[in-house]
Structure 1
Amino acid sequence: MKNWKKAAAMAVTASLCITALAGCGGSSKTEEKTDSTEKKSASDNTLHYQIGVAIDSLNPQLANDGTSFSVLAQCMEGLYTKDEDGNAILAAAESVDKSDDGLTYTFKLRDDAKWSDGSDVTADDFVYAWQTLADPNTGSEYQFFVQTACLLNADDIVAGNKPVTDLGVEAVDDKTLKVTLSSPCAVFESLMTFPSFLPVKRDFAQEAGDNFATSADTILCNGAFKITDYEPSAMTIKAEKNDDYYDAGDVKLDGVEWQVILDNQTAAMSYESGDLDVVTLTGDLIEQYQDDENFSTSQDGYMWYISPNTEIKELANENIRLALAKSFDKEAVTDTLLKDGSTPADYIVAENLAVSPDGTEFRKQAGTYDNWTYDVDAAKEYWSKGLSELGIDSLELELVTEDSDSAQQVAQFLQNEWQTNLEGLTVSIKVEPKKARLEDMQNGNYQLGLTRWGPDYADPMTDLDCFITGSSTNYGRYSNTEYDDTIDSAKYGELALDTEARWNALVDCEKMLADDCVVFPIYQQSIARMISPNVSGIYFYSTGSNYSFKYAEKK
């Protein structure tokens, strides 16, 4: 890296205090255990945990980000949950009978599965929740999951051609749930650990109406903890041990308090004073703490990338996209700005997410792609061609980013790289709260967007499904018939029945994204943390909800 580039990166670093990277949804786990020392820690038996962004929603069928999903996962359980290694295990269901053809799952719910008001968790709670998820009127960003799970009639219901009552989920009796699929689903059990499939008590939700899940009084929990203090955009969310939880005897904590702290310097000070038990670190704070015995890092599945809006004339030009994708130094982002163990990415399917039927990790088979590598000379050539094709000699573009300090820092670095390396390019930055940024990108009201995606389940499909035509996560409006048909077959068609052919087809799909250059990968996120030496038993995951506090304890 040239000295001037290091200087530019350091200047950006100095301008901002980096905060925690937070998102959405290959199961991997890091168990954080430390020995008791004289380190000061919050003295009560409540876990005090920093999060970097406000909760978007605690309605399971409307939540759409990793922060919300992770809070929900501490307070609610579906048919399955994750063990310490991230594998799907039965939770609210005590048994399951699978048909030989893979199309029918019959679950028996636990007799002692209870809501936090003491009432039984019933099969109808799942029917109501899943029908709500599938209902086009709900407006869930994860509505497509009923299709990913291959639930019977999901396609027609999502399209508005059949009523939600035709969805392949049925309450045979209070404790028996029958699920019918349209085709075998290789990732069904993993999907069932995801918060969108959590149950909701019908009469409670209907009585709450539009206020459902907007306060502690309008939330029912069936997990290890129950929400006691919450309101939209709250900076503090509190939960206490749920004595009605069937496995309450194994829950050691009295409660959890999540604190939304955007500034990591402030969070670190709270950790030092003992007001926080767990904080996330980035940038200069990592250098400050990296030799501490309570410091740790773990790779997760979140991919950060730029989404170009291909409906914009200039960004519909492939050479312009190639120039933008190849003209910024990813190593400078990870090594000079973030310094948290994150890795440069010339790929979009996360590393260490999933393995093939023969045991080959996806990234080792797929490799990386030239269109996404850093190459300023090649970028300049593409830029010149693109401008010539458009009949212009300069271009102004706007990059939208969310308001966390780390995202703004990366955005400023990209702005500097693009304007330095691509003559005639001017990039402005629009900073918005995350929710507003997502809405603008989903509605196509943007040009370039800095965004991220976390894997929801342990399969390459969790990343590749984002880019099918019409998907709410396909911000850039990419449309490729071959790509769509391949993904469709891998989910529901002939490829779904041939695991090896399906795997190879998904490798080809990632290559299509690279060949068309409709997304610009930047890095795969890692998380650096300080965890109080008095705390043990927290499990961190790379898919879906990011952690579990069920077995956490404080000494």
Structure 2
Amino acid sequence: MHNKTNLLIAGLLSSTFIASVALAAGTHPTTGEALADDQTFTYRILDEHSSVDPQVVEDVSGAEIVRDLFEGLMNQDRDGNLVPGVATGFTTNDTNDVYTFTLRDTAKWSNGDPVLASDFVYGWKRAVDPELSSPYSWFMELMSIENAAAIIAGDKPVDDLGVTAVDDHTLEVRLSAPLPYFPQMTTHATTFPAPQKVIEAHGDAWTKPENMVSNGAYILTEHLPQERSVRERNTMYWDNENTIVDKVVALVINDENVALTRYMAGELDRTEVPAGQFPRLQQENPAEAISFPRLCNYYYTFNLSEDGPEAFKDPRVRQALSLAVDRKIITEKILAGGQPEAYTFAPEATAGFTVPQVEMSAMTQAERDSLAKELLAEAGYGPDNPLSFNMIYNTSESHKKIAVALGQMWKQKLGVQTDLGNLEWKVFLDTRGNQDFDLARGAWCGDYNEASTFLDLLQSDSGYNDGKFQNDRVDELLAAAKISANTAELYTEVEQILAQESPVIPIYHYAGVYMMDSDVGNWPVDNVEQNWYSKDLYKIAE
């Protein structure tokens, strides 16, 4: 890998002159397409992002912004393959528990300072430091970095983290156990470098546009909370010469139908298709309505904490509610965008993962409904003792439609009473994270392309195990999978346990269902993680 990526860098450098000439002439250096004069990409997001601090951000839309503002060791290409970022390559030792990354000496921060190995050391130590309380500190533990778990627990000092700046351009990472997909995990925002001097000078205000220093292809030039975020070309970025899009604008539009109207008016280059409208839009705009697999799941999670509903402590109740969900109605009638029904937690799009058949998936819906009634009656719920609970979701017309449909299915089939709660995004995250709910909407997009990125959420001590599900056998299997060369049987057993215990109700697996302006070039539809980088996009002349 080390030699291959260095050769790739040499090839990129040799083609810089050709690319620059092509860009100066207003044509794409590879495709020859005429480029638009205005290279601004404008897209819609549902909610205000959680943060633009790499070690604090915890949502998809925030991570999209952070990937433009910061660059980690490795990036992904349009197919999801690893390509060089700040690192030109890496090597491993014979036991695969020490990774050494070589950093390019042309990488700079937006203030002109060089990006050094020590910037990664500082960023990674921030991520595990209990003082910061990063919502993604657990991710560093999942990466098996030496001493990460003990540091997060407060049992060891931050300086004991297994990461060292050997010199300015060499980063060494020591793992507690071999992890074959470790390099893939370095594309995640939590692992990006952080500018120590800037953070120490400005504290929490370091992420304001006037203070922020970043090392990605773009800098943050404007942020109006709940309205818009703007990033523009970073002239100090090492590959700025070959970056085409000049400006990226993210607009917060809570209503999918309003966003679609604004897209049709030419105000947006990309927006999500509202639930149920894809068939019509695809017929009317075949070049712009697109659907493709995504590495994400959509589910509802039960609150199984000590303070959670007593009814949900009975797995028969949880299984009955899952069985009674007619997923086909949700995917085909409500969403209608190519989303597959989900009976397992990890999606079929996951690399190296074969979706195991669980009992529920082999049944007809009538059989599921019949079994659901039996299980609920066995648990002691029926006409004389109806089950009732509240369920929460974050503001979105699609989420509302699905929640209403679930409530109706449970009422009609099982006599269950539900009270729906619609919460703004950050309030929703806090409410769910504090187990102040009965049943809550959940969704997860893979942080890397391996089944553990989903299944680890249901590990007992996972930072995003919001339902507080605990199963010793699941914990054992997931721990074994981290050091196993053959994970298929382990993950299959995990999924089968989840199907029986039903700590969550898988509803569907995602598709990317967008309206995408035909003048947007190089959108990575074949990257199921949808780790897109504005520097790789371009606007075609109309």
- 1:306 and 1:116 map into 2 onto residues whose CA distance is 42
The 8 Å contact of residues 316 and 379 in structure 2, kept in 1 or not, is answered as yes
Corresponding residue of 1:228: 221
2:516 corresponds to 1:531: yes
Q: Secondary structure at the match of 1:177?
A: strand
| Match 2:266 to one of 264, 274, 283 | 274
2:472 corresponds to 1:481: yes
| Match 1:208 to one of 180, 202, 213 | 202
Tell me how far 1:199 sits from its aligned partner: 0.5
Q: TM-score, normalised by structure 2?
A: 0.88
Tell me how far 1:184 sits from its aligned partner: 0.8
Tell me how far 1:189 sits from its aligned partner: 0.5
Identity among equivalent positions (%) equals 28
Corresponding residue of 1:181: 175
Distance 1:297 1:43, change over 3 A: farther
Corresponding residue of 1:426: 417
Matched AA of 1:146: M
2:504 corresponds to 1:519: yes
Distance 1:463 1:542, change over 3 A: farther
Corresponding residue of 1:438: 429
Q: TM-score, normalised by structure 1?
A: 0.86
2:42 corresponds to 1:52: no
Corresponding residue of 1:506: 491
- 2:329 and 2:497 map into 1 onto residues whose CA distance is 27
The 8 Å contact of residues 289 and 516 in structure 2, kept in 1 or not, is answered as yes
Matched AA of 2:518: P
The 8 Å contact of residues 147 and 161 in structure 2, kept in 1 or not, is answered as yes
Corresponding residue of 1:462: 453
Corresponding residue of 1:112: 106
- 2:512 and 2:272 map into 1 onto residues whose CA distance is 7
2:132 corresponds to 1:138: yes
Matched AA of 1:321: R
- 1:544 and 1:138 map into 2 onto residues whose CA distance is 27
The 8 Å contact of residues 66 and 546 in structure 1, kept in 2 or not, is answered as no
Q: Give RMSD over aligned pairs.
A: 2.3
- 1:486 and 1:533 map into 2 onto residues whose CA distance is 46
Q: Secondary structure at the match of 2:348?
A: coil
Distance 1:238 1:538, change over 3 A: same
Distance 1:391 1:207, change over 3 A: farther
Q: Secondary structure at the match of 2:88?
A: strand
Matched AA of 1:295: A
2:439 corresponds to 1:448: yes
Tell me how far 1:42 sits from its aligned partner: 9.5
The 8 Å contact of residues 276 and 337 in structure 2, kept in 1 or not, is answered as no
The 8 Å contact of residues 326 and 371 in structure 1, kept in 2 or not, is answered as no
Deviations 1:69-119 (A, max 9, x none): 111112211011112211122210123232111121222211110111111
2:409 corresponds to 1:417: yes
The 8 Å contact of residues 457 and 543 in structure 1, kept in 2 or not, is answered as no
Q: Secondary structure at the match of 1:332?
A: helix
Identify unmatched segments of 5+ residues in structure 1. 1-32, 356-360
Q: Secondary structure at the match of 1:217?
A: coil
Tell me how far 1:284 sits from its aligned partner: 4.4
Q: Secondary structure at the match of 1:457?
A: coil
Identify unmatched segments of 5+ residues in structure 2. 1-29
- 1:535 and 1:519 map into 2 onto residues whose CA distance is 38
Distance 1:400 1:278, change over 3 A: same
Distance 1:511 1:57, change over 3 A: same
Tell me how far 1:329 sits from its aligned partner: 1.1
2:144 corresponds to 1:150: yes
- 2:175 and 2:401 map into 1 onto residues whose CA distance is 45
Q: Secondary structure at the match of 1:257?
A: strand
Deviations 1:210-256 (A, max 9, x none): 2232x21232221121111125x332111111111111122111111
Distance 1:544 1:298, change over 3 A: closer
The 8 Å contact of residues 195 and 545 in structure 1, kept in 2 or not, is answered as no
Tell me how far 1:395 sits from its aligned partner: 2.2
Matched AA of 1:536: G
Distance 1:42 1:406, change over 3 A: farther
* Greater relative contact order (Cα < 8 A, sep 6+): 1
Tell me how far 1:540 sits from its aligned partner: 4.3
The 8 Å contact of residues 303 and 467 in structure 2, kept in 1 or not, is answered as yes
Q: Secondary structure at the match of 2:235?
A: coil
Q: After TM superposition, list the pairs within 5 Å mapping 1:17-56 onto structure 2.
A: 44-56=38-50
Corresponding residue of 2:349: 352
The 8 Å contact of residues 371 and 517 in structure 1, kept in 2 or not, is answered as no
The 8 Å contact of residues 347 and 369 in structure 1, kept in 2 or not, is answered as no
Distance 1:260 1:161, change over 3 A: same
| Match 2:360 to one of 355, 370, 376 | 370
Deviations 1:405-432 (A, max 9, x none): 1111111111111111112x21001111
Matched AA of 1:280: E
Distance 1:310 1:42, change over 3 A: farther
Deviations 1:29-63 (A, max 9, x none): xxxx99999xxx99722111112222111111111
Distance 1:113 1:244, change over 3 A: same
Q: Secondary structure at the match of 1:437?
A: helix
- 1:34 and 1:387 map into 2 onto residues whose CA distance is 66
- 1:107 and 1:289 map into 2 onto residues whose CA distance is 46
Larger deviation, residues 158-167 vs 217-226? 217-226
- 1:521 and 1:211 map into 2 onto residues whose CA distance is 39
- 2:383 and 2:302 map into 1 onto residues whose CA distance is 20
Corresponding residue of 1:255: 247
Corresponding residue of 1:28: none
Deviations 1:441-498 (A, max 9, x none): 221111011111111111110011001112221122111111112212322xxxx0x3
2:311 corresponds to 1:318: no
Corresponding residue of 2:332: 335
Corresponding residue of 1:552: 537
Tell me how far 1:173 sits from its aligned partner: 2.1
Corresponding residue of 2:24: none
Corresponding residue of 1:408: 400
- 1:181 and 1:544 map into 2 onto residues whose CA distance is 25
- 1:517 and 1:285 map into 2 onto residues whose CA distance is 31
Q: Secondary structure at the match of 2:72?
A: coil
Tell me how far 1:537 sits from its aligned partner: 1.4
Matched AA of 2:161: L
Matched AA of 2:84: L
Larger deviation, residues 134-143 vs 188-197? 134-143
Tell me how far 1:542 sits from its aligned partner: 5.5
Larger deviation, residues 535-544 vs 64-73? 535-544
Distance 1:399 1:393, change over 3 A: same
- 2:335 and 2:33 map into 1 onto residues whose CA distance is 30
Matched AA of 1:440: T
Structure 1 runs (4+) greater than 4 angstroms displaced:
33-37, 371-374, 540-545
Tell me how far 1:162 sits from its aligned partner: 0.2
The 8 Å contact of residues 537 and 549 in structure 1, kept in 2 or not, is answered as no
2:280 corresponds to 1:288: yes
- 1:168 and 1:245 map into 2 onto residues whose CA distance is 28
